[in-house]
Structures are given as C-alpha cells and as structure tokens.
Structure 1
Amino acid sequence: MKPSFRTWRQRALQLAAALLPLGVAAQTPPTTTTARATVPVEAFFQEPQFDDAVLSPDGKKVAFKLRVKDSRAKLVVMDLATQTPTVVASFQNESVGMFAWVNDQRLVFNLAAWLKPAGQRDINSGLFAVDANGERYRQLAETIGSRVKNGDETKLLPQWTQLLRTSARQTGDDIWVTVTEAYDKKFGADYRRVRKLNTVNGRCSEVDAPQHAAHWVFDAQDELRAATEARDGQLKMWLREPGQAWKTVATVDSLTRTLYPSHMDALGTLYVISNQGQNTVGLYTWNFETNQPSGKPVLHSQAFDLYPRPVVSEGQVQGWRYTVDAPVTQWTHPPAQTLQDTIDKALPHTVNELSTGVRSTSPHVLVHSFSDRNPGTTLVFNRDTQKFIRLGDARPDLRGQAMAGMDFVQYKARDGLSIPAWLSLPAGSVKKNLPLLVYAHGGPWVRGQSWGWHADVQFLASRGYAVLQPEFRGSAGYGRKHFEAGWKQWGRAMQNDLADGAKWAITQGIADPQRICIMGASYGGYAALMGLVNDPDLFRCGINWVSVTDPQLLYSVNWSDTTDQAKTYGLPRLMGDSVKDADMLRTYSPLQQAARIKSPLLMAYGGKDERVPLVHGEKMRDALRAHNPQVEWAEYPDEGHGFVDLKAQADFWQRVEKFLNKNLKQQP
C-alpha cells in the first residue's frame, strides 16, 4: 500500500491553517450557555482532530495525528524551531493508527486497526516507516490483500506483525516486532515470534523469546530479559540473563494473583506488578535470589490497584504514571517535579501529563492537558522562555460548550460493601430531581471508568440526564476483595449493586424516582435486561446494546471468539459452570426470564460481532416481542462488538436520545 504523495503537498497548506495559532498561551476556553440539545451527536463521537503527539528523542520535533476536513488521520511532523508542519504519511482510505519515533529522523507507524470493531480479526494495520521529512517511505508488513514485495528482494512481514518497541535510547534504525504465526482458539493464544527489524532495508532477525508469551520486557541494552504467558488458568513468568536460556521463575493462579514484569532500568533493577499477598496491586522490585517480588512496594494504594508505567529520560526512571481515581504522575526526579508544579500552576483544574525526548537537551516539554470537561489540549512549554505554544485541541468543535463534571463517589450496597461509582451531572443543572441513567460497564471483570472526558457520558449529560456509573462488585481495579465478591454473582449481588446505586441517588435528592433508566453494553446490557427483570418498579426503561442475553450462550455458541481456555478456566469460576451451575444460570438469564420484562426497551447489535454474536439479540428480541410491544430494535450489519463507524454511532445515539425523550424526559 502506497501513501498518496500528491495529496501530502496539497494538504500541507490546509494543515498549517488547521493548527491552532502557535505562540498563543494556553487558556481554558470559556464556556457558553448554548442550549444543550444544539450540540450535534457527531461532535461527541467523531474521531479526534488532533491526537497522540510525541516528541522526537532529541526534543526538537513533534509528531502527531491530524484530521483535516475528511475523516482520515494523517501523520504530521513539526519542527519546533521553525514551527513548520510536514505531512509525512497520508492515505486515501485509511487513517494512520499507532506510531513511534525510531530515532531523531525516522518514524514507524501502522494503520488504524483500532477502528475495527472488537471481536473482529480482519485487522488491516500493516507496518510502515518514513523519515521526518517524508522521505525514505517503506512498507514493512503486509496489510490484508497486499502480499507484494517492496521494490527489492526483501519480502514484507506477514499482516499479523505488530510493533513491540523501539530502541531504549531511540538510536539506530531498528525496532522490535511480534509476528503472529498461528492462533489457537483452544488455548486463546497466539503463537508469536519476536523479531528485530531494520526500518530502512526491511531485513529482520529472530530474537530468542518464549513462543506463547504475551508480555515482554527489555533491558537498557535492548536485550529481551523477561516475559509472561497466561494459559490453563495460570500466569507464568520467565527470566533470562543476557545470552542465557530462559527460566520459569514463577507460576501463579491467574485469577487470584497478579504478576508480570513492568520495566528493567539501566542498573538491572526489574520492576514488577504484583499483589504480593495484599488486597491491591502495586509496583515492586524483583529479588533475583528468592525469585519473588520484594517485600516492600515501590508504589502501593490501599484503595486502588496500581499499574505504573515508567517515565524514562536519559536511561533513568524519572517517575511513574498510574491511575487512581484520576491519572497521576509521581516523579522521583526533583527537577521534574518542580517543572510539573510550574505547569500545574499555569494550567489549573486539569491533569497535565509532561514528556520530553528520551535523550533531549531541548527546552521543549510536551504537555497533554485534559479534564472531565476538557477532551484534551496539547501544548509545548519552553523552559527557557517560560511560555506555551498551543498545538491543537482533540475536539475543537466542542470548544466553548458547557460540559458535565465527573465526580468519584461511594455508596453502601445492601450488604454493607462500599461501591465506588462515577456521577456526572448536566452542566448548569439544578442538580436535584433529575432523570437518571444507571450506566453499567461491560466486561464485567474490568475497571469501568476513570476521571476524564467521555463522549457517551457527555452526550447523555448534554441532553439533560444525570449519569451514574457504578463500579459494582466484580469490577477490577479496586482490590482482590472487591473483584472476588462478584464471582458467580451475575444477576444477583452484582445486580443489586446497580439498584442500590439508583436508590442512593434518590436518597441524595439527585434522581427523580419516577425517571430512572438502566443501560449498558456487553455485560452492561445484560445488567440492563436483568434490571428490568429484578427491579421493574425502580427502572422505568432499559437500553441494551451488544449484550449477553443468556450466559449459557457464552458456552454453546461456537462462532464466538470465547476461547476454550475461558470456557474451562475463567467462566466457570467467574460466572458459573455450565453444568454444575445450570440452574443458577437459567434463573439469572434474561432470555429465560423474558416474560417478566414489561418495560420499554431499546436493543442494538452488530452483525459482525464475534464477542457476543447476533444470535444473543435475535433470540431475546423474538422472546420479548411475543408479549412486549415496547421493544425497539436496531441492527448494524457491518459493526462488531461496539459501534465504530461514525454513521452507525450517530444513528444509535440518536435512537437513544429519542427513546429517552419518549420514556424518561417528561414527568410521568
């Protein structure tokens, strides 16, 4: 696949005009009192105009993705000295996806595979490299249907090639990739090989690595030193000394223990993520003598599981990024903390994530600034002049529009368990007696949310609804006890947590008890259905999209991507055994309880969903329509487990708006 070089030059002038004026100091845009419903749905769900800015290793250039008029993201490089942008990659029918600097002058990137629906394996990402001036473009890996040579005798790598990392100091022309050679649905694992790849000539060499690993850590000399594999209900960790054979150093239960390597610094210290006998997950160093995490954590929280990512400069860890209620950077390098304090003072009320080149002597610091009300602004701070230049906004169409605030709250479930939750209230509202949406997250064994700007929540709040997003028991991120409290609790205690959240909002005066709806996707949609079964007097209506409608279908439908590993080791413990717990699963199956659902219900499914195949929705729809005339149905033939195409998203959320206007907006 070749980029359209002709359009690169044509669009350079458009690009310069599209960037926000450089040299303008960053300010929080003033909000207006524009009527909520005047903001079109597309403004919330379209892809960001400006995204993913990254400084070059020497800090003299910045690369980012930009959309101008059309919906295809281009890769742009700007020289910070001249403030001149250059489009270095642009395609007619594809957006640039992930990218990284290889060295000061070269980048590697793929196409936007993440735009494909979840549960679909027809990824078209490829792998490409180009210089920062747009020269020496080279395709390194196939996209679907592009089994061609690259102008010489070097064949392209297969389409299942993914970027693993660049060099620790980002010098030279080499990168490291994983190549998937086969997928074993029985074990739910890819057979991957790690290869070192030259981005200029396309030649690669094999790297010694465990074949079934899914996570790898290199040292500062670019030697592969640690890896992990999850299989047969266990998590296995390997280590190796440079040039030596791999050794298995730990095997733990994958549901009750967390253990995987995070980073190895220049001194050979290995950092690992582990719960190490604690309720919550934290960061530890590895003891090579005992082959165990150290007893004392480097970073730990009593309330949240932490998964810190290192911030590295000049080969040294200068801080760690992780999420508690909101994203946090904890600096261990005092000058970095001083810089953070300076920028936070200039940009209050936002999370400000700072980055410099990995070996930069440049005065430039990249600042990604965002909040619950701000979807994201990217700036460059000059340490010499102490001034900002503004590169771009993620969603400029929303600048000046009043957005909802997002608060982290907690309430007690009926059995006394504390339930974390997120509450978003319409901007400018009285904050009392509002129509409420109880929005259950999918998974369900994941963390549902963190503080920030979220398109779906902001859209709903813009239409006048309060949104409560409970982190019901079984959710990850809040410790082992909270996670395990949700085992085999589909339709039971997990469901009660949602109902108890609605009742809490009523007692707080936030929610009108006559105007509460339950909604969600995937597991969240299952919970919406069960909410109408269990609590028909509490929830006036429900919205379910791409949801499980019968837990037994996760075992029996053979064209889903649910692996044999999940059916053998995960689902029986987390949800319930298909044989031993058959009666329980039947009792808490919306499909089996369809006759009890009398309330208005909106259902939507994707025709290409392999995570929760369409049959879930079709069976439920047919069972409901036999007795419930208030069921609305939408099907998107080309969408998967979640809607990606903007037209499909806009259509779905417009249906949601219309459905809520009819069933919830007005006082009964």
Structure 2
Amino acid sequence: MLRSILIALSVAVIVPVYAQAPAASPADTPLIERAKLFGNPTKTAGRVSPDGKWLSWIAPRDGVLNVWVAPLADPSAARALTDEKTRPIRSAFWSPDSKTLLFINDKGGDENFLLYGVDVVSGKQTLYTPFEKTRVQLVNISRQVKDRILIAVNNRDPRWHDVYSLHLPTGKLTLVYKNDGYAEFFSDESLNLRLAAKARKDGGNDFYRISNGKVENSPIGQVGLEDSLTTAPLGFTTDGKTLYWRDSRGRDTAALIAQDVASGKPTVIATDVRADITSGLFDVRTGRIQAYELEVLKREYVPIDPSIKADLDFLEKELKGQFSVTSRSDKDDKWTVAVDTVSAPAATYLYDRKGKRLTKLYVSRPELEGAPLVPMFPQEIQARDGLTLVSYLSLPKSADPQGSGKAERPVPMVLFVHGGPWGRDSYGYHSYHQWLANRGYAVLSVNFRASTGFGKEFIAKGNLEWGRKMHDDLLDAVDWAVANGITTRDKVAIMGGSYGGYATLAGLTFTPEAFACGVDIVGPSNLFTLLETIPPYWEAFKQQFYRRMGDPTTESGRAMLKERSPLNFADKIVRPLLIGQGANDPRVNVRESDQIVAAMNAKSIPVTYVVFPDEGHGFARPVNNIAFNAVAENFLGNCLGGRAEPIGAALKGSTAQVKQGAQFVQGLQEAVGGK
C-alpha cells in the first residue's frame, strides 16, 4: 500500500582529527569541513524489496547520487543500477513484483518530475512518462497488484492530472480517468479509484465517491478551509471495507479515524490534544493500522495492534535514538529501520523480526563519526499572545561544553526559519544546525503560527498574518533567547529558504534593525508576483492560498498583499543581505530575487546575490549547495564574528553566478576570479 512515497573576518584552520573532549572556547572545537556536512552521503534511503531478496539504496556514482541494489544476503555485492551524470536521484522505491526500482527526477530543478524504472537484473532503464513539461504523481502502488501501479500526469492539461494504469513490464499506459477539475484521487488496494477530491471556493475540499469509473454528483465528505490542511484520506484496508482518515473535523488536532465504507460510520481510533496524528504503520497484508506516529516535541510510534508492540519496544530498547521504519517485506519478516541520534550521523539497520536481530547496514555519513556534533534541545516558547511555539535549539560547544542545553555565556545566534510556511521544524539531526553551531553560533528554529502538526487552530492563527503575527512569533523567540542568556540582541542573524527566505526579507524590511544580517534562499519578495507565477498544477489550491495569504482579486486583498511584500519596503534595508536563487525555480520565480535586488540597487543599498542556472527551489546538487554555504558562512562571519572555513575553491565545479556584491564577503572576489 502506498502510504507516503513521496527543503568575523577571522578564519579558523581546519583540523583533520576530531577532539573527543568538550571544548571551552571556539578555537578548541575542530572545524567540520563543509563537504562533510553538505556533500553526498555515502549511502541513504535504504529499502528492502517486497519479496525480501534485495536491498536498494541511493549512493554516489562518479560523484552523483544514483540508485544501487544488492542481494539481501550479500550487501557487499552492490552494483549501481543508474548512471545519472548531473542531477542527483533523491528517492527510489520498489515495484510490487520486486523486479524494478522506480524513481522520479526533474531537469535542472524545474520540478517537471518524470517517472523512470530500471530492471534489477538486466539494468535496462525505461522512461515511463516520456512527456515534456509534465509532472507525474503517484496515485497508488499496491502490494496486491504486482504488475501495475496507478499514476497521474498532466501532459494533456497542465492544471489537472489524468489517472493512468501503468503496466510495468511493458510500460503501457492505459487511461483510467480523464480529469476535468479534481485535485487528487484515491484508490483501493485492487487499484480501483474510489475517491476524488475537488477544491471548494472557500479553500476547502469536497470528497466524491467513484463508482464504476464515474464520480458521483454529490460529495460524501466536505472539508472547509479550517480543516483543509489537517483532514485527508490515508488509505483503504486490503479488503476495501475500511477507509482510514486523518481528520480534524469537530476537533482541533487531527485524529486517526476508521470509516466503515458501507455505512459511512466513522470510529475514532486515536487522538491527542497536543498534536495532529498524520501517519502510521499499517499491516502489509491486511492494510489495518498497527501503530500511529505522534510528534509533539519529538516523534514516537504509539502501538495499537499488540502484534507490533513487541517489535517497537525491542527497537526502542536496542536503538539509541529516534527511529523510523522505512520499508517492510511482503512477508513482514524483514524491515529497514533508520536511526537518528542527532549528535551522530544517521544509521540504517536491517531488522529480522523472527529472530529479533538487528544488523547495521550502513552509516549515511561515516566521515562525521567522532565529529564534534552537538545535541538539539526542544523548547516551548511563549508568544506575546500566549501561544506556545515548539522550537529547537542547538548550542555551540563553546557555550555549552557539557551539552546541557543551557548556555554558559551568550554567543551570536542564527534564527533559522522553516519553509512552507505550512510545514514544521522537527527534532533530529539537522545539517544547518550542526554547521552553524560548529561555526560558533547558537541556532534556533521556531514553529511559528501557521506551522503544521499542532492542530488546525494553530494553522488558522497564521491566516493573513504573513509579515505580521507570524513574524512577531520569530521576534518573540529572539526575545526569549536574549532573556535566557543565549545571545545578545545585536548579534542575531535571520536565515531560511522559501517562506524562511520571505521571513528573512520581512525581517530586514519590516523590522530593519531587529537583525544583524540576513540570508535569503529562494524567498519571495513580492506576494503579487508570487501568486501570479505559481505552477499551473497548483490550480486546485489557489483559493486556499488566497484565503491564507491575501486575495489579489479583491481591493482589500490587494492592499494587504502590497503591505506584506518586502519588495515595497526595500529602501528600509540597513543590514547586510545575502540572496541565493535557483534560476529554474517553479515555485518562487527568479524574478522574486531579481526584483528586490533591482530595488536595492536603485537606492544604492548593498546586497550580495548568487544565482544557480541549473537549480530550482533550493540547491539539489551538492557542489552548488556547498558553494552557496561557503559564501553564506563567510558572510555570517563578517556579520556575527563567527568562524568560517575559507571559500577557497568551493565555487569551482559549481554553476554559481555571483551577480553582484562579491566585495562584501570575505574571499568571494578571489573565489569568483579563480573559478
């Protein structure tokens, strides 16, 4: 069953041997090389095949992430199945018959994802969706139907995805449903379409039953705007008699619901007033829920079925850290389990259920073993109106040598803001937290209002609050950090991508002296042009954007969008700003960065601007990510006084184009000249 397959000028010398004892000053803590934090992992995304005979993972081949496979009985006999030369493959998944590994990839970050398959034995690669400017969606991969999967593609109309049955052995696509306005489709485990979701004018969704290939006229379920991000089907049991939902209708946080398909009667299986229940572990044979995932401060599995409780208890006892079950064989006797201890690189294990045996398969970044990584500490911060903001703090060893979570002295801080904004920060290993803490900064990530996972009321408190109460939450978190001796008010930078980039621009325009500097990565500057250039396949969500951000079709909405767009206040910027942008970004068009840079130029306000012509919404190629972070850490060093690994040759091999402002970053002019 498919459940969820689918962002100081002083320079320290790099010390190759990692210290084992806590440090008392920044100089005592070895500098972790950027490449070890942001380069390719050695291995990642390990999965066991449905038949339990194979292991797959993603690993570099000639410096680019590709798909690898090995016999389960002999992982050392691994071989690369793909040969991508430029664009990394970031996820892969098994066909139901275990004969093919499937993956999706785009070109240069354009997010026109196409579906590929590669035969495990022969290595033959097939492009299943050979269309231009098309984005594939996975509808369902069932364990019950071995030779077919359901996909949806928008090659006919870019706004809507038609559903097709894909016959994997031949690659033949058979039209199942020609879509004339539905946002999403759901099938049972026999690959029969059973539900269709259609966007409402209020930003919600109506759910319609599909019978004999036809969508019924009247909806069987209605979800308003307030529940739209917290209510959705999770999937059917194998017999098709029960449909599971995450459902916040009639409550604040999303509950786990089992609905009897015949009668329509819902039964609450689990709910928690602290957080939404959004996913779980389902029996691979029956499709029945066995455990659900709950994430408040940290993520945990809560067992429902006694048959799985002993396994989860065993894994919790044996694995020191937060673990996730990432794949299961059809016989359910072999699992892959990923473990995150935060202050050590993640590892993946093979779990033999019958023998209760764990075998370590790999460590994702073995080069970080023994590195001076730091813990992460969950915090609950009170906003000015009393709202509780779940946040995460990392401290440099110089400020917290014992790893207690209490700063012994204030240090500069980076407020690292998540994207979305309808997403969340979570507890776990975070490459940016580790990198910045190693450079001598406290790092704070805040789940500001509008973040998901904490109930629909928490999300709704962010409606129409871009650049206002959502931004106030970030300012309140800074106040908390200052009051608790973590940092000083004059030594705080703001940094983030996507909405985090917007928050950076908002911070430097709406509150121009609140931050010492800002790093904006693919952040929108003009909410009008952002909404004008959203991809056509987001048509179904347009009304939700309007009601949560501001409606450009009304006079009051236009006024709101104007006053919330940092572009219109670019003349207020008085602090250093670094901008990174992918030229092919389909979500936040390159114009968003071009506009604010032009506005700053018109006022003779300095800015450093780096563009990557082969990237989209973020930097997928490690060489590009390393290049930008080389610029960023030296920019922050100028601003906050922390340590930085010299830029050196970091830009060589990348496609980085420093459009302007190289003179404002230590070593950047020399790097550009030597590229």
Instruction: Give me the TM-score of the superposition, normalised by structure 1.
Output: 0.82
- Change in 2 beyond 3 A, CA 1:280/1:383: closer
Amino acid of the residue matched to residue 332 of structure 1?
I
Measured in 1, the distance between the counterparts of 2:607 and 2:215 equals: 60
Measured in 1, the distance between the counterparts of 2:335 and 2:386 equals: 47
Measured in 1, the distance between the counterparts of 2:88 and 2:610 equals: 28
SS at match of 2:491: strand
Query: In the alignment, which residue of structure 2 is the partner of 1:91?
Result: 83
Query: In the alignment, which residue of structure 1 is the partner of 2:169?
Result: 200
State whether structure 2 residue 276 is matched by structure 1 residue 302. Answer: no
| Of 425, 434, 438, the match for 2:411 | 434
State whether structure 2 residue 160 is matched by structure 1 residue 190. Answer: yes
SS at match of 2:65: coil
Encode CA deviations 1:259-300: one digit per residue, 9 max, x unaligned. 422121135111112112111112212254664x62x52122
| Of 545, 553, 573, the match for 1:570 | 545
Query: In the alignment, which residue of structure 2 is the partner of 1:513?
Result: 489
Equivalent residues of 1:193, 1:211 under 8 A apart: no
| Of 376, 392, 397, the match for 2:362 | 392
Query: In the alignment, which residue of structure 2 is the partner of 1:326?
Result: 298
Amino acid of the residue matched to residue 515 of structure 1?
K
Equivalent residues of 1:90, 1:96 under 8 A apart: no
Deviates more, 1:347-356 or 1:606-615: 347-356
Query: In the alignment, which residue of structure 1 is the partner of 2:672?
Result: none
Measured in 1, the distance between the counterparts of 2:522 and 2:438 equals: 24
Equivalent residues of 2:67, 2:92 under 8 A apart: no
Following superposition, the deviation at residue 76 of structure 1 comes to 0.9
Q: After the TM superposition, which residues 451-490 of structure 1 pair with which residues of structure 2 at under 5 Å, given as runs? A: 451-490=427-466
Encode CA deviations 1:128-179: one digit per residue, 9 max, x unaligned. 2414xx237352514568xxxxxxxxxxxx965554433324x643333323
SS at match of 1:513: coil
Q: After the TM superposition, which residues 77-226 of structure 1 pair with which residues of structure 2 at under 5 Å, given as runs? A: 77-80=70-73, 82-83=74-75, 85-87=77-79, 89-93=81-85, 95-103=88-96, 105-113=98-106, 116-117=108-109, 120-123=110-113, 125-131=114-120, 134-135=121-122, 137=124, 139=126, 141-143=128-130, 160-169=135-144, 172-184=146-158, 189-195=159-165, 197-207=166-176, 212-226=181-195
Equivalent residues of 2:183, 2:197 under 8 A apart: yes
- Change in 2 beyond 3 A, CA 1:271/1:580: same
Following superposition, the deviation at residue 663 of structure 1 comes to 1.1
SS at match of 2:566: coil
Following superposition, the deviation at residue 497 of structure 1 comes to 1.0
Measured in 2, the distance between the counterparts of 1:378 and 1:278 equals: 37
Measured in 1, the distance between the counterparts of 2:112 and 2:174 equals: 26
Encode CA deviations 1:474-508: one digit per residue, 9 max, x unaligned. 22222122111112222221111111110001111
Measured in 2, the distance between the counterparts of 1:136 and 1:563 equals: 35
Query: In the alignment, which residue of structure 2 is the partner of 1:41?
Result: 34
Query: In the alignment, which residue of structure 1 is the partner of 2:6?
Result: none
SS at match of 1:514: coil
- Change in 2 beyond 3 A, CA 1:252/1:326: same
Amino acid of the residue matched to residue 128 of structure 2?
A
- Change in 2 beyond 3 A, CA 1:51/1:323: farther
Deviates more, 1:341-350 or 1:100-109: 100-109
Equivalent residues of 2:495, 2:518 under 8 A apart: yes
| Of 351, 374, 379, the match for 2:349 | 379
Following superposition, the deviation at residue 378 of structure 1 comes to 1.1
Amino acid of the residue matched to residue 64 of structure 2?
S
Flag structure 1 segments of 5+ consecutive residues without an equivalent: 1-28, 146-157
Equivalent residues of 2:42, 2:60 under 8 A apart: yes
Query: In the alignment, which residue of structure 2 is the partner of 1:420?
Result: 390
Amino acid of the residue matched to residue 57 of structure 2?
F
Encode CA deviations 1:74-115: one digit per residue, 9 max, x unaligned. 3213232x45534261215265554333345412312433x8
Measured in 2, the distance between the counterparts of 1:142 and 1:354 equals: 26
Following superposition, the deviation at residue 242 of structure 1 comes to 6.8
- Change in 2 beyond 3 A, CA 1:205/1:585: closer
- Change in 2 beyond 3 A, CA 1:536/1:98: closer
Query: In the alignment, which residue of structure 2 is the partner of 1:313?
Result: 284
Amino acid of the residue matched to residue 90 of structure 1?
T
SS at match of 2:277: coil
Measured in 2, the distance between the counterparts of 1:358 and 1:619 equals: 53
Equivalent residues of 1:96, 1:109 under 8 A apart: no
> Number of matched residues?
608
State whether structure 2 residue 616 is matched by structure 1 residue 644. Answer: no
- Change in 2 beyond 3 A, CA 1:378/1:618: same
Query: In the alignment, which residue of structure 2 is the partner of 1:22?
Result: none
Equivalent residues of 2:105, 2:115 under 8 A apart: no
State whether structure 2 residue 575 is matched by structure 1 residue 599. Answer: yes
Measured in 1, the distance between the counterparts of 2:135 and 2:326 equals: 33
Following superposition, the deviation at residue 453 of structure 1 comes to 1.5
Deviates more, 1:612-621 or 1:275-284: 612-621
Measured in 2, the distance between the counterparts of 1:72 and 1:660 equals: 30
Equivalent residues of 1:273, 1:282 under 8 A apart: yes
Equivalent residues of 2:345, 2:366 under 8 A apart: no
Equivalent residues of 1:422, 1:470 under 8 A apart: yes
Following superposition, the deviation at residue 653 of structure 1 comes to 0.9
SS at match of 1:594: helix
| Of 628, 638, 660, the match for 2:636 | 660
Encode CA deviations 1:531-586: one digit per residue, 9 max, x unaligned. 2334344322222222222223334x558769666555522543354621444433
- RMSD across aligned C-alpha pairs, in angstroms? 3.2
Q: After the TM superposition, which residues 488-507 of structure 1 pair with which residues of structure 2 at under 5 Å, given as runs? A: 488-507=464-483
Query: In the alignment, which residue of structure 1 is the partner of 2:660?
Result: none
Measured in 2, the distance between the counterparts of 1:570 and 1:90 equals: 38
The percentage of counterpart residues that share the same residue type is 24
| Of 315, 328, 334, the match for 1:343 | 315
Measured in 2, the distance between the counterparts of 1:84 and 1:619 equals: 52
Encode CA deviations 1:211-242: one digit per residue, 9 max, x unaligned. 64444443344433233233543412122467
- Change in 2 beyond 3 A, CA 1:616/1:62: closer
Equivalent residues of 2:89, 2:104 under 8 A apart: yes
Following superposition, the deviation at residue 210 of structure 1 comes to 5.8
Measured in 2, the distance between the counterparts of 1:245 and 1:646 equals: 45
| Of 279, 285, 290, the match for 2:252 | 279
Query: In the alignment, which residue of structure 1 is the partner of 2:589?
Result: 613
Query: In the alignment, which residue of structure 2 is the partner of 1:74?
Result: 67
Measured in 2, the distance between the counterparts of 1:229 and 1:330 equals: 32
Following superposition, the deviation at residue 338 of structure 1 comes to 1.0
Measured in 2, the distance between the counterparts of 1:264 and 1:201 equals: 28
Instruction: Give me the TM-score of the superposition, normalised by structure 2.
Output: 0.81
Amino acid of the residue matched to residue 570 of structure 1?
F
Query: In the alignment, which residue of structure 1 is the partner of 2:653?
Result: none
Measured in 1, the distance between the counterparts of 2:169 and 2:468 equals: 57
